[in-house]
Structure 1
Amino acid sequence: MELTPLLVIFLQTGVVFAGSHSYSYFYTGNSDGGQGHPHFTAAAYLDDFPIGVYTSETKTFQIKTKWIEEKADPALWKNYTNIFQRWETDFRQGVKKMMEHFNQTEGFHSLQWMYGCELDDDGGIRAYDLDGYDGKEFMALDLDRVIHISSRPETEAIAHKWNTETIEAEKMKTYLEVQCIETLKKYISYGKEHLERKVTPQVKVFHQQSAGFIKLHCQVYGFFPQAIKVKWLRSEEEKVQPFEVLQILPNTDFTYQTRVTITVAPEEMDTYFCHVEHSSLEKPHIVVWEPSRNNLLYMSLGASSVLLLILTFVMGLWLGRRRPANRTSTYSLTPAMDGDQPTPSSAV
């Protein structure tokens, strides 16, 4: 299943809090099917991982999590199929109505809906109900006031219409705060050994050179549970370096991955440490990156390229003046080139 932009944003914004579990549904209706985009897709998620998926092409809810399939009543999956088949019809009509609302007569468009609940270790609960169009949120259900709130001026009329149907909003609030939590607790009990397991992170550091700078990446992958701390430290100062962080993302094997990056200027070349803390580790895992001779050479060339050009020009003039007029040069001041890499020349 290809993730829609709204779902990707949801998974990357940390909606699921550390020490909590969530149960969610994601629906997507597309104006045009084919090319990897079914007319309709629905998926159920436990935390960040799919329990099962229904599409307009398969016409059935297909289980993706084996340990839930083994313990749940098979009649449940048939019920899911029946529910999603009805939603498929509604979403086909819904996409057409949204296109009319935005005065669109052609092009690829999609209508999305996601809702779910979360349960903290301390028993606290949260819930959400969001609607999106073409990957952008346009509506949210305020569960405290039980009204729909438009997040875009052009959809305020839709919010007003939905708010006249108060019974549906009340039903949704009850589902999210009661039935959804009950289902989540049941699935947590089914997968206790999986959800409470600890998998040690794998750590890899590498660098990329760009425009006179070096980017240091600390790739951390294959860990579970999700909560993790990753930072870069410089030399023995133990000073945390400003970094860019890739959001923690799920893998297909029920583990997570992330990456933390820092940018190093020529004058900041030093030994750096990627410092990783995770519940599966007795002590922090530290991986060292040290500047190699090649890195230093690259940085020097990048920082002083103008100076080198000037020096080469001056040396050329000086040697040209010293050379006898009737003598032919047998060497070169510049190295011979093999592709993009210098090779030894006869002058050296």
Structure 2
Amino acid sequence: MVPVLLSLPLLLGPTVLQETGTYSLIFLYTGLSRPNKGSPRFQATAFLNDQAFFHYNSNSGKAEPVGVWSQVEGMEDWEKESHLQRAREEIFLMTLKDIMDYYKDSAGSHTFQGMFGCEISNNRSSGAFWRYAYDGKDFIEFNREIPAWIPLDPAASNTKLKWEAEKVYTQRAKAYLEEECPAMLKRYLNYSRSHLDRKGTHSFQDLLQTLS
């Protein structure tokens, strides 16, 4: 098993970005062991600054742009994005099951959440994070400096062993946060900068508080 974001490669085209400003790209994932009738077992939302720009859920199996982003052509290949999100869904829910097995707790409803993203300021990477929570409590987070996954819950030590079984996966997590995510954000800005600038900008920490 590998971390959610590493299930499929991300294909990022070349990008040219000259203007200055501060922008962020954040993904929020939620998996439920026993969703209410009709509710999705898994859903993902991506945010540019504090604005949701695409959503995916396990009921539809489709990643789709939301709001004004549905009017922006060429920003993303939504068929490929849907395929990627379905792969992430499978791994995400498998991790939730592993945690429940660790605690031998199959009763009731349990929630697993992941949040990760990056920020660029003045066209340079200026921040990134990647962390998970189980039933509303911190579970595990990635430390880019070591680099390593840091357990924040007893069950997370088992998750850490699985995710670090091959060193390449830790290296790819670091590369995603420091290279791939900022490159993807810059590519999105080629399509969306004018709209985001009209809405104003927010600090990275403010956004984390808003979305957590």
TM class by smaller structure: 0.7 to 0.9
Aligned to 1:123: 124
TM-score (norm 1): 0.49
Residue identity in the other structure for 1:171? R
- Pairs within 5 Å for 1:132-171: 132-171=133-172
Q: What is the CA RMSD across the aligned residues, in angstroms?
A: 2.5
- Pairs within 5 Å for 1:80-119: 80-119=81-120
Change (3 A) 1:89 1:249: closer
Residue identity in the other structure for 2:62? T
> How far did 1:103 drift?
2.1
Change (3 A) 1:110 1:81: same
In structure 2, stretches of 5+ residues that fail to align are: 1-20
Aligned to 1:22: 24
- Pairs within 5 Å for 1:207-226: 224-226=200-202
Give per-residue Cα distances to partners, 1:92-132, cap 9 Å, x unaligned: 32222111112212101011122111111362421111111
Runs in 1 of length 4+ with deviation above 6 angstroms? Answer: none
Change (3 A) 1:100 1:68: same
SS of residue in 1 equivalent to 2:184? helix
Distance (Å, rounded) in 2 between the aligned partners of 1:194 and 1:37:
31
- Is structure 2 residue 49 aligned with structure 1 residue 47? yes
Residue identity in the other structure for 1:28? T
Larger RCO (alpha carbons 8 Å, 6+ apart): 2
Structure of higher CA gyration radius:
1
> How far did 1:31 drift?
0.4
More strand by share: 1
Distance (Å, rounded) in 1 between the aligned partners of 2:209 and 2:139:
25
Aligned to 2:63: 61
Contact 1:30–1:111 under 8 Å retained in 2: yes
Give per-residue Cα distances to partners, 1:49-95, cap 9 Å, x unaligned: 11111101111112114347523255x11111001112222233222
Contact 1:44–1:53 under 8 Å retained in 2: yes
How many residues are paired up?
Answer: 187
More helix by share: 2
Give per-residue Cα distances to partners, 1:260-316, cap 9 Å, x unaligned: xxxxxxxxxxxxxxxxxxxxxxxxxxxxxxxxxxxxxxxxxxxxxxxxxxxxxxxxx
Contact 2:120–2:127 under 8 Å retained in 1: yes
- Is structure 2 residue 33 aligned with structure 1 residue 31? yes
